[in-house]
Amino acid sequence: MKEVLFCLLLAFASVTYFVGLGSAAKKGRKGRIDKLYFASTMCSAGWGLFIGLTLIQNNENIAAVLRAIGTLHIFGLLICFTDMLVYWSGIRGRLKRWSVGFVWAGLILYPFLLIRSNVEFEMTSYGMAYRIKPGALSLLYAAYCLATALNLLRMSARMVRRSIRRRDKDIAYALTLCVVIVGFGRVVDISLQLLGYAAFPISALGQYIAQMVLCRTYLFYNSSQVTLQNMSRFVYYSVDEPVFLFDEAERLCIVNNGATIFLGMSAEECCKLRLSDIFVLERDAFRFRGSKNRVEARCWQRNNICSISIDKIYDDYKDIIGYIVIVHDVTERVRMLERLEREKQRADKANEAKSAFLANMSHEIRTPINAVMGMNEMILRESEEPATLEYARNIQNASKALLVLINDILDFSKIESGMMEVVEEPYSLKELLKALLTECRMRAEEKKLELTFQVPADMPCMLLGDEVRVRQILLNILTNAVKYTVRGSVTLRVRYEKVSDTALDIAFAVTDTGIGIKEENIGRLFGKFDRVNEEQVHAIEGTGLGLSIVDRLVKMMNGTVTVESVYGKGSTFTVCLRQRIAGEELMGTLEESSGSHRQQQKSAPVFTAPEARILAVDDNKVNLTVIRGLLRKTQVQIDCVTSGRECLEYAARQHYDVILLDHMMPSMDGIETLEKLKKLPDNKCRDAAVIVLTANAMAGVRDMYLEKGFDDYLSKPIEGAMLERLLAKYLPAQYVRAGSGAQEQQTT
């Protein structure tokens, strides 16, 4: 009998021992539960082994030592159970310290178990048996075992009560079963000994049942945790994207749920397919350097466009044993990008069509305006009749107003298309303000308004910035102020503040006593094609683009524009710009150029050059007449032709100092004419300056013409004074004599 019990206990101990070693041999970082489980298996195996050895002993002294060692393993197993329950039940603070401390306190009673006189041994049919002698210490030991069992049962019950997830409840029930088997089995064993019965190793055998339950609980706990061993399984089957696993021969081995849904097949059917049965791939898609490759492919089954990520799988010897292929269906994204590309192409074509339309309209409108304004300027220069001059001045004002509207539309188109650029060059703010004062005073006088410019005399006037855009901003605001003011005054106040030795902030504030703006309409001022108070201003010309252009230009120059207005009393527009200082000259006194508007129209030419020769080329004879009339007083010799072919013929027969060449001409335009002129073998005008005259005023055309080889650019409608200044720049110096007009300009 004792041999059978010994073999049974030895077998259970061996199995438990090897199970514990197996858990310790697993790769990966060991957590607290892993360590406690290993310790519990060692204690359980030791308990059974030493109790079994006690059974087969004939010497009571040896049996007492083996029993004492086995009992020590019982304490260890109780400590492991307690720590597991504390960890799994989440006990913290004082309760944790009391529970763990109580079971460790049992070691104080261990010396009682070692005292030989407290234990009686006797030989029975099942081997060497023992029992604890009754006494105070025996009762204390029995009470401790009962209290320990109840404590473990309390913690397991607490875990059952507080568990929310089914997994945690299953673990709690399993631990409760272990506590009942080990703890209360030990209590029954001690109680029988105190009643005088020899101990039968029933609790030693029962604890193996508890160990089997604990083993299953431990395996279940590990399988339900995210660990390095099971993480790949969770991730692999939870990924929505199709995942394919190929071996080193590119045979499909495993697919995930996403792949079966993607192909519309079962996993078994998918694994019968070859790579070429699924994707249209490059031949060497799996032959790449590094560990990852990304290619584009199409799926045979659904004709979808896919982005495929291929990762190599290596063994411990760094040899490739397979490939993981993750498929991203990008069909919708690619189609959306294709749609966006088509929309972009349509938008680009529409933008090109708009630009072409505006360029064409600019040419078509500016050509007759050039004739109107040119002929009208000749009337103003030559007529002596007051009534005729009054009519001519009205025509001039209307033409300039029409030109402003056209320029606003073209400028807004340039800004919208991003073709407007800010070009910084040195300029004189004093001269700019004088020109603005001269230009705006005539309009103010017509409405009997007082126009005042207040500029600090100690302000630097030589600046570095875009003079054209600064002038355009101020002219727009001043013109608006004059247009919307019925009586009173318009005042431009200039303030400045130096921010460094080389830069200053300038504030231009234009104040009027006009109709003002309602507070709710101020936010609409800078909108395109929007005019506030339309019921009051419907009779005033304008497109509603002026302030929108001002706002865009100011932002391009990193400045700000603000508005303050009282409805019915007037408005103040303030533009703040930062400009760099380009010289030490100060503003001084701002004086308007002397002479009235009528005197300016009848002023003498800037220069005279009777020996100079000019060739004017334009298919519109009226434009040629305008050029002749504007340059009559300069005494320059002018030949006029109406085509590029005639231009080449004249250049081969006669030397000219300057050629004024129109761009848009039939059969041979200005650019083609210039190219052939430069290649003309008998060209007698190789050193002549070629200036393009064009009605095209779109953004970038000046740079385009200069790149094509023209020496300068002049847009229509042509102003007489500007044309004279341009010719004075390019005519040979020996031919040019300063006229009285130039002397008057120097005097003023």
The DSSP annotation for 173-191 comes to HHHHHHHIIIIIHHHHHHH
| Residue count of the chain | 748
Among the listed ranges 323-327, 667-671, 692-696, which one has the minimum average pLDDT value? 692-696
Residue 579 has pLDDT above 80, yes or no: yes
Among the listed ranges 345-354, 442-451, 668-677, which one has the minimum average pLDDT value? 345-354
Residue 622 has pLDDT above 80, yes or no: yes
Q: What is the pLDDT of residue 614?
A: 94
Confidence of residue 545 (pLDDT cuts 50, 70, 90): low
Rounded to two decimals, the pTM is 0.46
* Pairing between β-strand 613-617 and β-strand 658-662 as defined by DSSP bridges: parallel
Q: What is the pLDDT of residues 343-382, one digit of tens each?
A: 988 988 887 777 677 667 766 777 788 778 888 888 887 7
pLDDT mean over 39-53: 84
The continuous run of DSSP H or E covering 6 comes out as: helix 2-25
Distance CA 89, CA 172 (A): 8
Give the DSSP letter string of 513-546: -SS---GGGGGGTTSTT--SSHHHHTTS---S-H
Residue 529 has pLDDT above 60, yes or no: no
Q: Which CATH code fits 603-747?
A: 3.40.50.2300
Q: What is the pLDDT of residues 123-133, one digit of tens each?
A: 877 778 777 77
Tokens of 645: 């072919």
pLDDT mean over 583-596: 69
Residues sharing a CB contact under 8 Å with residue 390, sequence separation 6 or more, in sequence order: none
Q: What is the pLDDT of residue 632?
A: 87
Q: What is the pLDDT of residue 612?
A: 92
Distance CA 603, CA 588 (A): 27
The continuous run of DSSP H or E covering 641 comes out as: strand 637-641
Contact 547, 480 (CB under 8 A): yes
CATH 2.60.120 holds for 2-223 = no
Q: What proportions of the chain, in percent to the nearest 5, are helix, strand and coil?
A: 55, 20, 25
Residues sharing a CB contact under 8 Å with residue 307, sequence separation 6 or more, in sequence order: 294, 295, 296, 327, 328, 330
Q: What is the pLDDT of residues 374-393, one digit of tens each?
A: 888 888 877 888 888 888 87
Q: What is the pLDDT of residue 359?
A: 65
* Pairing between β-strand 570-581 and β-strand 462-465 as defined by DSSP bridges: antiparallel
Q: What is the pLDDT of residues 718-739, one digit of tens each?
A: 888 888 888 988 999 888 887 6
CA angle at residue 694 from 689 to 696, to 5 degrees?
Answer: 135
Distance CA 582, CA 603 (A): 33
Contact 614, 631 (CB under 8 A): yes
Residue carrying the six token digits 């791939």: 281
Partner residues linked to 570 by β-bridges: 566
Q: How far is CA 237 from the centre of its chain?
A: 33
Among the listed ranges 85-99, 325-339, 444-458, 477-491, which one has the minimum average pLDDT value? 85-99
Q: What is the pLDDT of residue 311?
A: 86
pLDDT mean over 664-693: 90
Q: What is the pLDDT of residue 313?
A: 84
Tokens of 82: 């307690």
Do the domains 603-747 and 231-329 match in fold? no
Q: Which CATH superfamily is domain 231-329 in?
A: PAS domain (3.30.450.20)
Contact 292, 281 (CB under 8 A): no
Secondary structure of residue 298 in the 3-state scheme: strand
Query: How many CA within 13 A on the CB side of residue 590?
Result: 25
Partner residues linked to 244 by β-bridges: 255, 325
Among the listed ranges 40-44, 146-150, 256-260, 279-283, which one has the minimum average pLDDT value? 279-283
Q: In the sheet where 279-280 sits, what is the strand order?
A: 252-255, 243-247, 320-329, 305-314, 292-299, 279-280
Cα 5 to Cα 208, 265, 395, 530: the distances in Å are 14, 58, 130, 105
Q: What is the pLDDT of residues 220-237, one digit of tens each?
A: 776 655 444 455 565 666
User: What is the pLDDT of the chain when averaged over all its residues?
Assistant: 79
Q: What is the pLDDT of residue 257?
A: 83
Q: What is the pLDDT of residue 235?
A: 61
Cβ neighbourhood burial of 699 (10 Å; 0-12, 13-18, 19+): buried
* pLDDT greater at residue 445 or residue 292: 445
Among the listed ranges 454-458, 588-592, 620-624, 649-653, which one has the minimum average pLDDT value? 588-592
* Pairing between β-strand 689-694 and β-strand 712-715 as defined by DSSP bridges: parallel
Q: What is the pLDDT of residue 730?
A: 92
Contact 668, 643 (CB under 8 A): yes
Distance CA 641, CA 618 (A): 7
Residue 673 has pLDDT above 80, yes or no: yes
Q: What is the pLDDT of residue 278?
A: 80
423-600 CATH fold? Heat Shock Protein 90 (3.30.565)
457 φ/ψ angles, rounded to the nearest 5 degrees? -70, -25
Within 534-659, where are the H helices?
534-537, 546-556, 597-601, 621-630, 644-653
Where is mean pLDDT largest: 88-97, 374-383, 536-545?
374-383
Give the DSSP letter string of 455-501: --TTSB-EEEE-HHHHHHHHHHHHHHHHHT-SSSEEEEEEEEEESSS
pLDDT mean over 687-692: 92
Cβ neighbourhood burial of 170 (10 Å; 0-12, 13-18, 19+): middle
Q: What is the pLDDT of residue 536?
A: 46
> Would you list the domain boundaries of the chain?
2-223, 231-329, 423-600, 603-747
584 φ/ψ angles, rounded to the nearest 5 degrees? -95, -5
pLDDT mean over 713-719: 83
pLDDT mean over 551-567: 88
Q: What is the pLDDT of residue 505?
A: 93
Among the listed ranges 161-175, 266-280, 321-335, 407-421, which one has the minimum average pLDDT value? 407-421
Partner residues linked to 738 by β-bridges: 607
Distance CA 16, CA 43 (A): 10
164 φ/ψ angles, rounded to the nearest 5 degrees? -105, -45
Cβ neighbourhood burial of 164 (10 Å; 0-12, 13-18, 19+): exposed
Cβ neighbourhood burial of 439 (10 Å; 0-12, 13-18, 19+): middle
